[in-house]
Structure 1
Amino acid sequence: MLSGLGVPDLRGGFGTYTFYTSAPDQESREGEHTVIIEGSVDQRIATYLPGPLDRRTRSPHRLEMTIERRPAAREVLVRVQGSKEAHVVQEGQWGPWLRVRFKLGFLQAVAGLVRFYLVRQEPVFELYASPINFDPGEPVFPISFPPEYAGKLAEALGTYYTAGMIEDHNSFNNGRLDEIAFLDQCQRLWDERQRMMLFELERFQEGLFYCLYDTPDRIQHMFWRFREPDHPANRVYGAAREYREVIGEHYRIADAVVGRALEYVDDRTLLMVLSDHGFKSFQRGVNLNTWLHGQGLLAMKKGLRPGPDTPDLLQYVDWSRTKAYAIGLTGIYLNMQGRERDGIVQPEEADELKQSIVARLSGLPDSARSAVAIHGAVAREQVYRGPYVQEAPDLLVNYAPGYRTSWSTAMGGIPRDEFEDNTRRWSGDHIVDPAVVPGVLWMNQPFRPEARLQDLAPTILEAFGAEAAPEMEGTSLWP
């Protein structure tokens, strides 16, 4: 088993890249470490590659790095301290993996892998360095089972991405990489994942084989706006016609992958092809905390009002007068006494308060669009069961197509307006009413309709002749 989403980069984040630029007025953007190249950009640039944070200084460990510019050849030569390799990176192209090693202390070091993309050399120099991935042969902690599997896979197929969120949507969202660079990276990931799948299918004899292709999700997040001329993000970035069919093209790639897998299927093999959700446009964000403030359920500290300068993480909230708040992407929390540090909602008040919020949210209109923004909301107990229900928000909000929790709400912000246009390149999403983004399931055997995710485990167990555990919620899909 090889780990996927959730594996951090070497800096401990989920995709912190480095951007080198000679523009003097650049500030770091989301998920980015910016390195300003000061002075004249001559043929040889001395700079550094930032690595894991030093626990004492809270600043990153560094490796010295040189960039030798070759403008006539439209390329650079990158050398990093301690690495025996030096790599040529051409303009508009991805360089190969470069192995690096950061010394953290006496007899302690961590290994990683980084690759570069030369954005341009003139009139401003810009070079992108990927998040530093774990070296699969020397991961900081095990990323596979058995632990040595990750390294053996690299020995067989060559090194590969190990960070959980591989497609670097942050750099694309921030305008550091363009559509061409992002799509090129996505294609490399398709190829890499398919090589893994085919390598293992060649060796596979019996049991359960599972392979995840998550690139279609990232493609739809980032390219949905090209399907919609009126998407707010197109006012900022335009909508080049050549990208309108990108989503469809990637579904055709996915279809071809299924075709390759079918080559290994016989009459004793059950094949399941699954997507756990669909997609919709994300044109407008709902500022839930601003709405809660307007409903008298969230109070701000004395003299303060919602606005663009309010900080994230609910820092301006007066908890002594607040009954509900929102943070994250999925819903609303009550300020419960005994649970939240400064909770004021008594347990016996909770149900009535939740019912009141649900009633007020259901059918919430966006007057600027003459549209319904929220279909409704449900208590978490209506959706989840089991020992981890308490981890979910108290209320889950079911957005209408075109709407989602705003970027500010996700970080606990309280902007001025209840609604805002989504002008980011991240223009499609699936955090909406589940009824409008159903997943899909195909099997090479007959199965009953109206399948649910909970039904997969019992179905697979029955295929092996085993019974589902009593605590499982689903039932087998075999007719």
Structure 2
Amino acid sequence: VLNSKYIKSRTIWKLLSEHGKKVGAINVPMTHPAEEVNGFIIPGMQYGLDTGNDFAYPPGLMQELEKAIGGYKVLYGDMISLYTDRYKDLLKEWREIVKMREKAVLYLMEKYEWDFFMAVFYSVDVMQHHFWKYYDKSHPKHKRSEYSEIIPEFYRYIDSSAGKILDRLDEDTIVMVVSDHGAGPEHKAFYINKWLAGQGLLSFKKKYTYLWKMRLPHMMYKVLRRSGVKAIEWTVPIPYLPFLWRHIDPREGLRVHELIDWSKTSAYAGNHTEQGIYINLKDREQGGIVAQGEEYEKTRDLIIEKLGDLNDPATGVKIVDRIYKKEEVYHGPYTHLAPDIFVDMKEGSYLIQKEVYHKELFRLADKSSGTHKMDGIFIMKGADVKQGVKAENLSIMDIAPTILYAMGLPVPGDMDGKVLNNLFRDSFQEAHPVKYLDAESEGITDGQGVYSPDESGKMKKMLRDLGYMG
């Protein structure tokens, strides 16, 4: 399970701390274990364990929040709301989490001195994944429902919280409202590993054919898993079976990488959050068979060519908008670890899924009806910020260097993104030219071993309940 120790560069709060700035961050993903900073960090999202004494930095902060506001929760997800239309517990929990988050942010803003404060409100993301089909009348699974106003309801919660935060700030404080992505409809799944198999680029181990070609009873998969069959990663917990046995295909819990015969596979897809394809490359993959150089490029070009002609047989319409080679998306010393190909389909309404057991290549999306979009939100205000200016050609990577610039600090030379200095008043730009520092070598941290197998299992379950892992 990914954690903050996998980050190979200094974070914005670490950089600010090194320059003597006081920082606070609450609910930011990928921040557990919390770093030692000149201030405080309360980790966010990827965390599904107890928020005990060592959860936040400094130690004891969670106990302080317990006394001050009555408790704190990071997130909530459950299998029932993910696979059915039973949302009572989900909505109850998230309405409570929204209130807790607001109380925590306002308390920390007033209790502690800070130069930089970052708070993430995550609830709208969960609501959009679950309730887009009720909100969007053009969605193929749309139905009239009491849930049609859930997404606007949670935006109003966040708007109210933002208003209370602004009420506590003076006019000189620079405020940024940023989303890490946009949102929109998710219509269909494309089972790309099945497609790769059909192209002769992926093969399966014969010994596991019975696991994915036939739908066996749920309890059979439980028995097989307990007997040591490695190809079964998870099964539906017994307490959930009365509600979910019809809704969840037990084959969803299969480890696809265990089903694959790597000695006969040239390409494969991993988790759906990547939306990419890996070439089974020698010297990178454990069972790699494709040689670096000419064979690699030929394999990649072949896949790109065939994907470009792909149609949805139900509509006859081409579904691929654009295909990227990884070097068009990433650069730097870890590019070799990224998927070799990225696929953008129907403005993100079609998504790659790794499962192999469906008969069809395309099916209506089942767990989620809303998904992420490339274009998000950016709003900035402050005494030194221009008014009425439309910011264009932005990237989320521009935020960190712009924060450093706004706080009068130099930007590391190896930091991605550009400084949005054109959004500041001319007088501020003249008095504060952009400054850069030479890139420094970083101490490489290792995220392996941070969590025990039991902790990793609990966190994977939480991410599955939220729909981020298959």
- Structure 2 residue aligned with 1:342: 287
Counterpart AA for 2:290: V
Alpha-carbon distance in 2 for matches of 1:135, 1:204: 20
More strand by share: 1
Q: Deviations over 1:121-151 (max 9, x none)?
A: xxxxxxxxxx985143x4xxx2211122222
**148 and 3 in structure 1: CA distance in 2 versus 1, 3 angstrom threshold:** farther
Q: Which has the higher contact order (CA 8 A, sep 6+)?
A: 2
* Match of residue 170 from structure 1: 79
Residue matched to 2:342? 396
- Which position in structure 1 is the counterpart of 2:66? 154
Q: Distance in 2 between matches of 1:467 and 1:205?
A: 23
Residue 450 of structure 1 and its aligned partner are, at CA, apart by 1.9
Q: 2: distance between equivalents of 1:369 and 1:230?
A: 16
Q: How does 1:125-140 map to 2 (within 5 A)?
A: 133-136=49-52, 138=53
Q: Partner of 2:105: helix, strand, or coil?
A: helix
Deviation at 1:7, TM superposition (A): 8.4
Q: Secondary structure at the match of 2:117?
A: coil
The equivalent residue for 1:220 is 128
Structure 1 residue 190 displacement after superposition: 0.8
Q: Larger radius of gyration, structure 1 or 2?
A: 1
How far apart in 2 are the matches of 1:352 and 1:385?
A: 21
Query: Residue 169 and residue 369 in structure 1: after superposition, are their counterparts in 2 closer, same or farther (change >3 A)?
Result: farther
Match of 2:310 among 359, 364, 371: 364
**Distance across 2 between alignment mates of 1:299 and 1:132:** 35
- Quote how far apart the aligned CAs of 1:413 are: 3.2
**Contact 2:323–2:342 (8 Å) recurs in 1:** yes
In structure 2, the residue matched to 1:460 is 403
Indicate whether 1:145 and 2:69 are aligned.
no
Q: Of residues 163, 179, 184 in structure 2, which corresponds to 1:259?
A: 163
One-letter code of the match for 1:261?
I
Question: What percent of counterpart residues are identical?
Answer: 29
Q: What's the TM-score once normalised by structure 2's chain length? A: 0.65
Following superposition, the deviation at residue 240 of structure 1 comes to 4.1
Offset of 1:210 from its aligned partner? 0.7
Which structure carries more helix by proportion? 2
Choose the corresponding residue for 2:148, options 211, 232, 244. Answer: 244
Offset, 1:266: 1.8
- Tell me if the contact between 1:273 and 1:443 (Cα under 8 Å) persists in the aligned partners: yes
SS at match of 1:462: helix
Give the corresponding residue for 2:432. none
Q: Take 2:397 and 2:137, find their aligned partners in 1: how far apart are those partners? A: 38
Aligned length: 335
**Residues 396 and 248 of structure 1, relative CA distance in 2, 3 Å threshold:** same
Alignment of 1:3-14 (within 5 A): 5=29
**SS of the residue aligned with 1:256?**
helix
Taking structure 1 as reference, are residues 152 and 302 closer, same or farther at Cα in structure 2, changes over 3 Å only?
closer
Residue 243 of structure 1 aligns to a residue whose secondary structure is coil
Residue 202 of structure 1: which of 110, 113, 116 is its match? 110
Post-superposition CA distance 1:437-469 (Å, at most 9, x none): 301100012364222111111111111111111
Report the TM-score when normalising by structure 1. Answer: 0.64
Quote how far apart the aligned CAs of 1:307 are: 4.0
Structure 1 residue 280: deviation in Å? 1.9
Q: Deviations over 1:164-183 (max 9, x none)?
A: xx1314331144x8223322
What is the match of residue 74 of structure 1? none
Q: Match for residue 382 of structure 1?
A: 328
Which 5+ residue runs of structure 2 have no aligned equivalent? 1-24, 33-46, 216-250, 423-470
Of residues 379, 393, 397 in structure 2, which corresponds to 1:442?
Answer: 379
Give 1:179's match in structure 2, choosing from 87, 109, 124: 87
Provide the rounded CA distance (Å) in 1 between the counterparts of 2:111 and 2:380: 22
> Which residue of structure 2 lines up, in the alignment, with residue 405 of structure 1?
352
User: How far off is 1:414 after superposition?
Assistant: 4.8
State the alpha-carbon separation in 2 of the partners of residues 467 and 157 from structure 1.
Answer: 37
Distance 2:163 2:399 in 1: 22
State the partner residue of 2:257: 314
Letter in 1 for 2:369: S
For the residue of structure 2 that corresponds to 1:333, the secondary structure is: strand
Corresponding residue for residue 425 of structure 2: none
